[in-house]
Structure 1
Amino acid sequence: MTTMVVGVTEESIKNKMFSEENLKQVNVPEDSVEDFWHVLSSQVKSQIISQFGLGVILDNLGLGGVNDFKDGGEISTVHNAENGVFTDQEHKQRYEKKFNRKDYEGAANTSSKSLTGRRRAVEATTGITKDRYREGPEAYQNVGDMDVDHIVSAKEIHNNNHARLYLTDAERDIMATSDENMAFTDSGINRSKQDKPLMDWADAKNTKDPTKTNAEYYNVDKNNAQALDKAARKSIKHKVLKGAATEAANGAKKVGIQQAKRQVVGILLLEFMNPVITELKNYAASFSTYKGIKARVDGFKCTITRIKMKLAEKLKESKQIIGKIIKGAFEGFTSGVVGSIVTGIINLITTTLKSWGKILQDGITTFFQAVKLWIKNPNHLSKADLFKEVSKMIGSGIAVSASLVMVEKIKEWLAPILGPTNILVDSIATVLGAIIAGLLTALVIYTIDNFAAIVKEVKDFFSTIKYQLTVSKTELETKYREAIKKIDDAYQDVLMSIEKMYSKLDSLSNMVVDFNLPVQVRFDGSIELAKVLDVEDKDIMKNMDDINHYFLD
């Protein structure tokens, strides 16, 4: 969409509003912020047009937008579960499920592994089996006098938060009734043990004869029982860890695939949309030079022809483009996996919001790109300059990501005011997000470029402190305040210039669209706005003849 103030197009405004000349017009000292405005007028425009614009498109396609992330990430953690944050409804249901012993009797296992299946298997043969907690002749009993015991009780398995979170109901049932956790034992032992840990029960005093432990009273072989308990717990721990690893792998894979798709679509858009955008931009820039409607239609046809030719040339480069896609998909998948794992680790101790999850993921993706730049160093920069460029890349990437998150927040704020279906919501949010992206990126780059000067100020400050150790406290505080003021001056000037510039532009813009004012006043205001923006005189409409010439010729 092109915004027009009389004869002033958005393109003219974009090219002029951040120029150094405008800085002079608001009477801000130019020497302290010249570098900042240079960054804002050149570097940032490319960030807005490329990174931010592409990011908006990809987010709207459901490829890594803030709404594609979840509070707590894609990997479940007990910390999140304890705070009511789950990756999906299934995890929530099984984590909050109440204990029911029947869920752990082997219904999900093969029929021969269930409690009744094991008993029937013995009954179908000799009817005699060994008590696994005992040794000696008395260990062999009729199966009718024995129970099938969970070595690690079903209740203990259910109360294991990690087991409930990382294993399905069926997986926990199968684990509870596995060979490693099943033991035929005397019915009296099983009823006495109940849900207690085996070795705790064995060492406890017997309720019928307090002079003996349960192991002594029931003639349990403690070494044998301890070995069975250790093996059962080891097996359960292994299966729970395997479930956690599977959970992490699935969550990381999901984010990896999403980021791979984002990279692939981004590459395709850049490769095939750039020629289209460039030609349409050139046509729009020369639109006013065409004489009459026929000339403009012919010019548009020529533009379409050039677009077709450029796209045909791109298709001839399919091998190189496929190579870029494969490499981009791999890098996207890798960064997605790493980002998901890092997010998962953070969620072991604190729950991340989905907005921070996106910023973290985009930051890691940008870090991967920065590492590639560091390794290849295509422009053969010195280590110091290369470090500066890498820092700018990472900082700018995070700034753009944060701006994309702000777009969604702005939409949330505007929706109740303008209505969720109002087309202005998306437009206003995107424009404001682009401005935020530009300002944040400019501040990042400006700070990095001037970091040496800031460090020098700090160094000089500490040198002064060292010298002033012998002077009074009052003098020392004065020197400290002076040094801090020097460090802050540049940033204060930057912020003041931004405020004054936008205040003046806002005043003129409001005058132009204030329909309570006479038409001539608004017309004159639009001309003044164009002049403030330093639009070339030939591009400004000053009278009815200029307007007729622009729209009718």
Structure 2
Amino acid sequence: MSKLNKFQEELDVLAFNQQELDSLQKELNHLGGRMTKSQIELKGFNHQRKIEWEKVNTTRPIEFQINKEPSWANIVNMARKTQVRKANYSDFLTDEEIVSSITALYDLRVELNEEYSSKMVDELKENFLQSLIGPFGLSLHMLRAFDGGAIPTVHNANKGMIPHDKNGEKLEDYQSKYNRDDYAPQHKMNQQRKERFKDSEPIIDGYTGKELNRNGQSHIEHVVSASELHGDDWARLFLNADKRKELINNEDNIIWTNGSLNQSKSDTDLITWMNTPSKKDPTKTNAQYYEMDTEKAKEAYQRAQKNKKQAVYKAVGKEVFVQCGKTSIKMGFRKALGYILYEFAKDVFKETKEVFQKKKHQAINLKDELTSRFKMIVKNISGKWKEIIKQFFDGAIAGFFSELIIFIINQFVTTLKRMVRIIKEGFMSLIGMIRFVVSPPEDLLREEIYQQCLKMGTTLLITSGGILLEEVIEKFLLSNIATAPLATFLAPIITGLLTGLLLSVIMYGIDKLDFFGAKEKKIDQRISQKIMDDLWAIEAEFDAVFV
């Protein structure tokens, strides 16, 4: 073939490919116009629904740079290299896909509305079941409340209420009158003095630093007097008689001094007595008159007072910790057991329904089928051990702090047992709400979190009202001769049914009213996400063809 013919053939091929490239460019320009229109429509939809997407690079049309060199290889290579651009997500939407997406919007909205309705019905069942198992079920036996809570307080003791005092021994001790012989009987004090007199070491006055004679003028002095300790309500409430006696006669609370000083001081506070004018010489204080070493006396006083306070604080702290710990464990088990019973009951209803539906269409061994389903339910619940442990810790934390709060409140006001239950249930809900807000499920919108918190708060209010209503129902049942014997048993059941029904209706109303727009926002998100998925699929197809 001559060079002229070969060159002519290459020109023909080049002209043919140039026509194809021109045709492709026109098609792409037409497609770009349609995509621009689609983009405007989608942006309008997003703006109307207040949906924001991550900003992307603006569209740039494909540009073809033809090399001036009449080389076929260079032309083809340059064309391939320049077919690259960055585009908006909607640049590849076709007219057919626009119509399909708009049509799908209505179908998807209907589908999601039906899904929400079904979900709300399921929540009605769950709320009803949880009410029966929760505050009006397990709490009846596992969290039996007492007026004033589980930890004694001076405020309640003064009203004659001390928890865990079946025989009234603690109350009797608390209300007992001061008797010096209960702390330091005179005959034992005399015996102790005689034993000390036998010792050859000198007896030093703990207040003056002077040496004392071994006779009746040398007395054993209680720095914190028995009368002062008995007059301390906290000591009398949390330290029994033996512990108070031991504290009074502790070596850190006993010193030797002369009889005149001891009799003058009597049961008065040491510091107060030291600064008081002496009855024998009003021009001097007692400290001056008896020539006391004030620093030594103050040191002995501070040491004795410190030991007294430490003993009382330790007893109070131990009681608070023990009772809060007991409530913590009880509420932890109640929360975990409630979760297990709830899951068990829910699965039993579901599996039983499926078994009987299956029995209608085919012959089955009912006993074997139910046994198999039961094993499956147990296995399913066993697989949720992490959630069970989490429920236990939620209940335990709520139990500890609720009992602590009840103790603090009862320093000023006596909380009746109904209020005690309300506080404990309130803390249970509060811990659940905090955990939900701090660590919500990943797929939840902010509006859905607000909606769920509203439902949790409403649940707490209704449950609290139900606990108060239970007392009214119990009194009503007690007033009837026929129902009186079963009043304590029936009141929680009736209250649980009424509370569960009311709670279900109100929860349904909250979902229907959709105060925070959670439902619409969720539907919009899923619709917009579906459109995005379709757009990304189209973009991937386009890249596969033209890149």
What TM-score comes out, normalization by structure 1 length?
A: 0.63
1:328 corresponds to 2:391:
yes
1:126 maps to amino acid: S
What residue ranges of structure 1 are gaps of 5+ in the alignment? 1-36, 108-113, 455-553
Equivalent position to 2:129, from 16, 36, 49: 49
1:132 corresponds to 2:132:
no
Name the Cα RMSD after superposition.
3.6
8 Å Cα contact 2:131/2:496 also seen in 1: no
The more displaced of 254-263 and 324-333 is 324-333
- How far apart in 2 are the matches of 1:403 and 1:285? 37
**For residues 200-211 of structure 1, what are the structure 2 equivalents within 5 Å?**
200-211=272-283
8 Å Cα contact 1:94/1:169 also seen in 2: yes
1:220 corresponds to 2:292:
yes
- How far apart in 1 are the matches of 2:192 and 2:246? 14
Instruction: Tell me the residue number matched to 1:412.
Output: 475
Listed one character per residue, the Cα deviations across residues 303-362 of structure 1 (whole Å, up to 9, x for unaligned) are: x43332133234445763443443333222221001101111222221111111111111
8 Å Cα contact 1:396/1:441 also seen in 2: no
**Aligned partner of residue 88 in structure 1, secondary structure:** coil
Instruction: Tell me the residue number matched to 2:76.
Output: none
Equivalent position to 2:197, from 123, 145, 167: 123
The more displaced of 215-224 and 356-365 is 215-224
8 Å Cα contact 1:346/1:352 also seen in 2: yes
User: By how many angstroms is 1:429 displaced?
Assistant: 6.1
1:337 corresponds to 2:400:
yes
Instruction: Tell me the residue number matched to 1:95.
Output: 174
Q: Structure 1 residues 54, 163: CA separation in 2 closer, same or farther (over 3 Å shift)?
A: closer
**For residues 33-72 of structure 1, what are the structure 2 equivalents within 5 Å?**
43-60=123-140, 62-64=141-143, 68-72=144-148
1:263 corresponds to 2:335:
yes
Q: Structure 1 residues 45, 311: CA separation in 2 closer, same or farther (over 3 Å shift)?
A: closer
Listed one character per residue, the Cα deviations across residues 346-388 of structure 1 (whole Å, up to 9, x for unaligned) are: 2222111111111111111111112222233115223333132
1:173 corresponds to 2:252:
no
- How far apart in 2 are the matches of 1:281 and 1:56? 26
**For residues 482-501 of structure 1, what are the structure 2 equivalents within 5 Å?**
none
- How far apart in 2 are the matches of 1:314 and 1:404? 32
8 Å Cα contact 2:128/2:500 also seen in 1: yes
1:82 corresponds to 2:158:
yes
User: By how many angstroms is 1:183 displaced?
Assistant: 1.2
The more displaced of 157-166 and 417-426 is 417-426
User: By how many angstroms is 1:420 displaced?
Assistant: 4.6
**Aligned partner of residue 371 in structure 2, secondary structure:** helix
1:389 corresponds to 2:389:
no
User: By how many angstroms is 1:421 displaced?
Assistant: 5.6
Q: Structure 1 residues 445, 129: CA separation in 2 closer, same or farther (over 3 Å shift)?
A: farther
8 Å Cα contact 2:455/2:507 also seen in 1: yes
- How far apart in 2 are the matches of 1:269 and 1:452? 32
What residue ranges of structure 2 are gaps of 5+ in the alignment? 1-116, 518-547
- How far apart in 2 are the matches of 1:316 and 1:103? 63
Q: Structure 1 residues 91, 422: CA separation in 2 closer, same or farther (over 3 Å shift)?
A: closer
Q: Structure 1 residues 69, 427: CA separation in 2 closer, same or farther (over 3 Å shift)?
A: closer
Equivalent position to 2:266, from 194, 202, 206: 194
The more displaced of 384-393 and 253-262 is 384-393
- How far apart in 2 are the matches of 1:442 and 1:120? 82
User: By how many angstroms is 1:143 displaced?
Assistant: 5.9
Equivalent position to 1:158, from 223, 230, 233: 230
8 Å Cα contact 2:344/2:381 also seen in 1: no
Instruction: Tell me the residue number matched to 2:525.
Output: none
User: By how many angstroms is 1:46 displaced?
Assistant: 2.7
Listed one character per residue, the Cα deviations across residues 212-266 of structure 1 (whole Å, up to 9, x for unaligned) are: 3322332222222122112222221222222221121122112112112212322
**Aligned partner of residue 134 in structure 1, secondary structure:** coil
Instruction: Tell me the residue number matched to 1:312.
Output: 375
Structure having greater relative contact order (Cα 8 Å, sep ≥ 6): 1
The more displaced of 182-191 and 441-450 is 441-450
Instruction: Tell me the residue number matched to 2:37.
Output: none
- How far apart in 2 are the matches of 1:257 and 1:166? 23
Q: Structure 1 residues 124, 261: CA separation in 2 closer, same or farther (over 3 Å shift)?
A: farther
2:448 maps to amino acid: D
8 Å Cα contact 2:227/2:267 also seen in 1: yes
Identity of aligned residues (%): 24
- How far apart in 2 are the matches of 1:427 and 1:280? 27
Larger Rg: 2
